[in-house]
Chains A and B, each alone.
Chain A
Amino acid sequence: MVNLSAIQTGVSPSSEGRLALLFSALGARGGKAFIPYVMLGDPDLNSSLAMGQALLDAGADALELGIPFSDPIADGPVIAAASQRSLAGGFHLEQAFTALTVLRKATDRALCVMTYVNPILQRGPEAFSAAVAEAGGDALIVPDLPLEEGNTLARTCACNGLDLVRFVAPTSTDERIRRVVADASGFIYVVSVAGVTGSRADTLARVPETVARTRTFTDLPLCVGFGIDSPDKARVAAEVADGVIVASALVRAAAELGPGATGQARARAAGSLARAIRAALPR
């Protein structure tokens, strides 16, 4: 059972967390956040760590670190395949905490862990949140955990000083957006399209409207993700939002080199696209 007293005495996220500091610094100078993604263990842990480092070197303001899940229903083919490669390579959850520890030694930038609800549930929401915090993580991003199912994890995140990033989508009603942002922290993940992760032609058509509707209910930073695959799209999305999240395009840039490529080569490929996207965004 969640220890309620820990909520009152525990660390509170948001006000002094790395994400809050990042967005307050960016906001002061008109900069926009660039949050690239790496799938841990794809195709092995060292390669994914090299890719994380390359993304930091390319100017990432924070990293989104994916923990693979066997049935990633919010992800398109690129990330689903990365998930399968990671699991086929023998990924275990402990490696995620190792990866966080290694990256935390290398950087003071925010590290957000993205995974699905079942791996969290099987470890236990409290134990999972505590392990992420202990290893130096700053936030959890859980795409199959809507507001209705998220109370327990929100509490365990709060107890451990983590932000639980909430999602809004183009299909969200105003009433849902109001409830989603009410007790959110860190940033709001604005899903660009009704769809799964990955490229498509019409990524940005509904972004201004979704961002504007969300903005009326919260002052939290709004970051746009899903289908942002080029410097151009990143620049256009950042005109209305506070940051962009780029995942499939970077995973694909590395995966395109084929299974024989070295971790360094994969990291260079992803790093080069990341650099181009970073250059399109105000710092």
Chain B
Amino acid sequence: MSARTHGETIDAGPGRFGIYGGQYVPETLMPALEELDAGFREAMADPAFTREFERLLHDYVGRPTPLYWAQELSRRTGLRIYLKREDLCHTGAHKINNALGQVLLAKRMGKHRVIAETGAGQHGVATATAAALLGLKCCIFMGEEDMERQALNVFRMRLLGAKVSAVASGSRTLKDAMNEAIRDWVTTVEDTHYVIGTVAGPHPYPRLVRTLQAVIGREARAQIQSAEGRQPDGAVACIGGGSNSIGLFAEWIDRNEVARPGRKSGVRLFGVEAAGMGLHTGQHAASLTAGRPGVLHGSYSYLLQDSEGQVQTAYSISAGLDYPGVGPEHSWLRDSGQAVYLTATDDQALAAMRQLAETEGIIPALESAHALAALGEVRDHLGRDALVVVSLSGRGDKDMAQVAARLQGD
């Protein structure tokens, strides 16, 4: 297996999750990564910084987000389902947790400008929001195809004072937006911070974003304990780069409360990748399920690529999952059996979106709908009436035009 082969030829540099991660970037960026790593450690050790971050999460983002007992969905699904309502965060998704933390950090480090890549536009909106709040200049890179799919979010970013730069190269989606953001950063690194939106990219980003998103799981763990008097049997989240899932999983991982091979008790972790038009069509974004390890955007992780290492174009109806790579910690969780990775197709996600709207009066983002679409399989793993926390990572308003067009087309 290729992962094992590479394991012997991969250098154990800084910031690895098992053999995954690393810092595969041009020398020009290395000093900035060192500076960011140091700045991040200092900030997290400074009570004034963490207090300010917590204050903003509470007063501005609206945390803690509710953990909602989805009674009717539970009845229909045969599970006992609690939804972690990240869709109720200011700006409409979990992305704001990370964006706010990073822009706060950028300001502390004396940067005047932030840049970000965005797929669905949620991370772009979150970064533009944080930059507006904290008074930094902001430029968002977005693939042209995603700008069409997510026109509303483009308008929101502009209204928030950000510049939105259209990326016309390659697949014109998230992967290429990230390429352009990295190219901008190489050029502007001395006064600009790059706000990566997920647990991918070179070290220290996967750890930085994990730390800032871990609030999701910290809250969920306490909330389910108080609602049910125990920890859940399973935790479920969708995976593009993997930040809402790592955010949900982190607390259980760090407390060593995860079920895994050789230990049946504990919380079973489920990540749900986008199977697009179906894994057999090749039109999907399921890097952990159908890819193999390689290097993209500065880290070594599972990747959709051809036999010679050329990165393949991902596809999903959901712009936020439409990415051929995945955060390195997920690759480690997969190989070590600490998390199970499932998939859901476009059609399954659309059906799940509709079901949640009709049963609970909540319209989820297409991304989050992938997590809901896998609940049948989760029930097969955990058994009937298992207690499950699902990350409802974002709300579906941004997807309405696209979904309406798609349903009309059917």
Contact = CB atoms under 8 A, between A and B. Distances in A.
A92 B186 contact: no
Contacts of A180: 27
Nearest to B168: A77
Interface string A162-187: 00001111111100100010000000
A121 B309 contact: yes
Contacts of A149: 11, 13, 22-24
Contacts of A76: 183
Contacts of A71: 170, 175, 179, 296-297, 311
A191 B24 contact: no
A125 interface: yes
A177 B32 CA distance: 15
Interface residues of A, number: 53
A70 B9 contact: no
A173 B309 contact: no
Contacts of A116: 295
A176 B27 CA distance: 9
B294 A121 contact: yes
Contacts of B300: 121
Contacts of A27: none
B31 interface: yes
B225 interface: no
A98 B175 CA distance: 31
Given A84-B170, A92-B308, A118-B311, A73 B30 contact: no
B8 interface: yes
Given A80-B169, A84-B169, A195 B28 contact: yes
A73 B182 CA distance: 7
Contact of B31 (A69, A125, A152, A172): A172
Given A80-B169, A119-B308, A119-B310, A194 B27 contact: no
Contact of B295 (A84, A144, A147, A176): A144
Interface string B204-215: 000000000000
A194 B297 CA distance: 18
A262 interface: no
A147 B23 CA distance: 10
B11 A148 contact: yes
B309 to A, nearest CB: 3
Nearest to A142: B24
Contact of A196 (B27, B187, B312): B187
Contacts of B175: 71
Interface in A71-87: 71-74, 76-77, 80-81, 84, 87
Given A118-B296, A118-B305, A191 B30 contact: no
Interface in B327-356: none
A83 B9 CA distance: 26
Give the interface centre of B24, B170, B298, B312 by most chain A CB atoms within 10 Å.
Answer: B24
Contact of A70 (B11, B188, B190, B311): B311
Interface in B292-308: 294-298, 300, 303, 305, 307-308
B401 interface: no
B38 interface: no
Contact of A122 (B13, B25, B26, B309): B309
Given A73-B179, A118-B295, A149-B13, A171 B31 contact: yes
Given A169-B27, A171-B31, A122 B189 contact: no
Interface in B301-326: 303, 305, 307-312
Nearest to A154: B11
Contacts of B309: 69, 118-123
B14 interface: yes
A124 interface: yes
Contacts of B311: 70-71, 118
A171 B28 contact: yes
Given A118-B295, A123-B308, A143 B26 contact: yes
B305 to A, nearest CB: 7
Contacts of B10: 121, 152
Given A93-B308, A121-B295, A123-B308, A194 B9 contact: no
Contact of A150 (B11, B190, B308): B11
19 contacts: A2-B9, A69-B309, A81-B169, A92-B308, A118-B294, A118-B303, A121-B309, A122-B309, A124-B9, A144-B295, A146-B27, A148-B11, A149-B13, A171-B27, A171-B28, A171-B32, A176-B30, A195-B28, A195-B187
Interface of B: 2, 5-6, 8-11, 13-14, 22-32, 169-170, 175, 179, 182-183, 186-190, 294-298, 300, 303, 305, 307-312
The 3 A-B residue pairs with the shortest CB-CB distance in the complex, in nearest-first order: A122-B309, A169-B28, A118-B309
